[in-house]
Chains A and B, each alone.
Chain A
């Protein structure tokens, strides 16, 4: 029994860790056509320096976006046109927030924080795919930590040096 538990623990550790590196999303998967709360987890700064700015680029198909303000951080919403119009409770929206910037903060390298954006995952996105939220951390002295690499075909996120956080898309929930 003990052996079994330890083996289970070891396996759990090994399988769960690969995905928990770098800046990541808390919610690993979400059905298309629903609201998704993207919680970006920032585990460290840039080469030991604190993080002053966190920027996230929102993927096409993630619309009706509302970022969550954070105390001590200035919030900026960069808006632009979507590639196509999306249905927001009966209203077609063709533009909105495409990038969110939290700036003026000071998140130490030895501290942890989360940055939240809520939005809707378009229902016509393909289930099984992954939606990526590239993130850039900016630190003093022009240092930047980028989490912007999207795996090419046949590549795994764990092969990348600076993988962008992503969420796996699931089948639409039946009403």
Chain B
């Protein structure tokens, strides 16, 4: 019996120990739970918002209590997210090893941890390497030079077809009685224009969809090219080139004149349908200005080849052509200059942009070449025209040389102008920089009118006007802005705002690394014990 009891006891002993352990555990868990609070992030290394010279070897997050990370994600300057799975937890400290050699620009580390109480919390820290700001994708190393050269070459060929081909056809029929002396170079120019227009459409497509040159024969690429505003230019250019060919084919006479004029008008119209200048506001000025600029250039430049050809051939026809041209050209140059000035004024806006932007520098080069061209034109007109008309052999020879030189200069100018395709005009840069993203947030207690400037991904300044719901001023103790982008996996970025004049509060030095819809929250500490939270969405452009 005793034996039985003892055996029973020994049998149950392990169980009672287990029970005690379990109870102790229960108590301990209860106590642990009681003592715990939500974790908060106490310190980080690198510090939130800091700029470093080199990529950090390790990122340290110190919390107010022990935590377990559930998600650690780094958003790179180009907006790509990288999951960080190399981390070590040492009590309250989480050490994260980022990828080696992070590129220059702003990085966002979004963390999510669970603290002892099982409550997940998250946040983001921002740090920059080298300089703050999102790297701009597609600019710099993203440039496909083959496609650029194709676009540029195509554009030059298009210009040659327009100014020497269509312009030449126009000049031959109007100034030189439809003379066929310059037929060969004019036809060559028209063919160049046809080829240039054609390949421009293809390269425009490649540029639009961001594909390499190897896909130039892809139907989708061409479709994309024609879908842009340049597609309309291509269509009208083809029509203009065909009209010019028709004018040449119909031989000298009235009809050829009118057909060549319509070719010139169509071509000028074609160019006014696309490009930086045509896209600028106010369009009712800009489009006609482009049209007139192009038409005037065509009538001037177009006359160069026929005139040279006539003088080479000799005879009185050359003198008549030159006289007609000389009578007409002042009007043409006046229109060209006025239209050009209008275009320049609206595109550049600020005088310093001439040297600070690549668009401005291209313009300066073009202006320099233009001055040379005008100098040559003046020599022609005032020193050579009268003598050449009288038939002085030396003057004729000089005039021919001068015209050839002018033609070469024009080619240079066209080459320079074609590179505008790749330089956004200062107008659009200024516009881009000054276009803020705006969000109005309203609640039953108050409202915030927030502006994020610029409204593009990268370094921004956020400013909010904070008012009561009846638009009367509110005098808060403290204001914080909280930005998050759950879709991009970016946890809340919290910044304390500074009071500006009046009821405007702002945060500078903020970086929103990716484009898209951001959730913005304005936390307004109305008084010590009263907080107002205003939440809205703001769209940040790339």
Contacts and interface: CB of A to CB of B under 8 A. Distances in A.
A and B interact = yes
Interface of A: 1-2, 5-6, 8-10, 12-14, 16-18, 20-22, 43-44, 47-48, 55, 57, 109, 112, 134, 136, 144, 146, 148-149, 158, 162
What 6 A-B pairs have minimum CB-CB distances, sorted nearest first?
A: A48-B42, A134-B529, A5-B22, A17-B117, A9-B26, A57-B529
Nearest to B526: A148
A47 B42 CA distance: 4
Given A9-B25, A14-B118, A136 B528 contact: yes
Contact of A18 (B22, B64, B116, B119): B119
B29 interface: yes
7 contacts: A2-B19, A6-B22, A13-B30, A44-B37, A44-B64, A48-B42, A146-B528
B118 A6 contact: no
A156 B531 CA distance: 16
B119 A158 contact: yes
Contacts of B525: 146
A55 B528 contact: yes
A21 B36 contact: yes
B531 A9 contact: no
B34 A48 contact: no
A171 to B, nearest CB: 27
A136 B41 CA distance: 19
Contacts of A18: 117, 119
A17 B34 CA distance: 7
Contacts of B42: 47-48, 109
Nearest to A45: B64
B504 interface: no
Majority DSSP secondary structure for residues of B touching A: mixed
A17 B120 CA distance: 13
Contacts of A2: 18-19, 22
Nearest to A42: B37
Nearest to A10: B29
Contacts of B36: 17, 20-21, 43
Contacts of B118: 13-14, 17
Contacts of B209: none
Nearest to B32: A13
Given A146-B525, A148-B529, 18 more contacts: A2-B19, A5-B23, A5-B25, A13-B30, A13-B32, A16-B30, A20-B33, A20-B35, A21-B117, A43-B37, A44-B65, A48-B62, A57-B529, A109-B64, A112-B35, A144-B478, A146-B529, A148-B530
Given A47-B40, A47-B42, A48-B64, A16 B34 contact: yes
A22 B119 CA distance: 12
B43 interface: yes
Interface of B: 15, 18-19, 22-23, 25-26, 29-30, 32-38, 40-43, 62, 64-65, 116-119, 478, 525, 528-531
B30 A12 contact: yes
A92 B116 CA distance: 47
A136 B116 CA distance: 24
Given A1-B19, A48-B42, A21 B64 contact: no
A13 B531 contact: no
B436 to A, nearest CB: 28
Contacts of B64: 44, 47-48, 109
A118 to B, nearest CB: 20
B38 A21 contact: yes
Nearest to A164: B529
A146 B65 CA distance: 19
Contacts of B65: 44
Interface centre among A8, A9, A10, A57 (most CB of B within 10 A): A9
Contact of B531 (A10, A16, A162): A162
A9 B31 CA distance: 11
B27 to A, nearest CB: 9
A17 B40 CA distance: 16
Nearest to B22: A5
A5 B19 CA distance: 8
A134 B23 CA distance: 36
Contacts of A112: 35
A142 B287 CA distance: 59
Interface centre among B15, B38, B65, B116 (most CB of A within 10 A): B38
A9 B29 contact: yes
Contacts of B35: 20, 43, 112
Nearest to A109: B64
Contacts of A55: 528
Interface centre among A6, A44, A109 (most CB of B within 10 A): A44
A13 B29 CA distance: 6
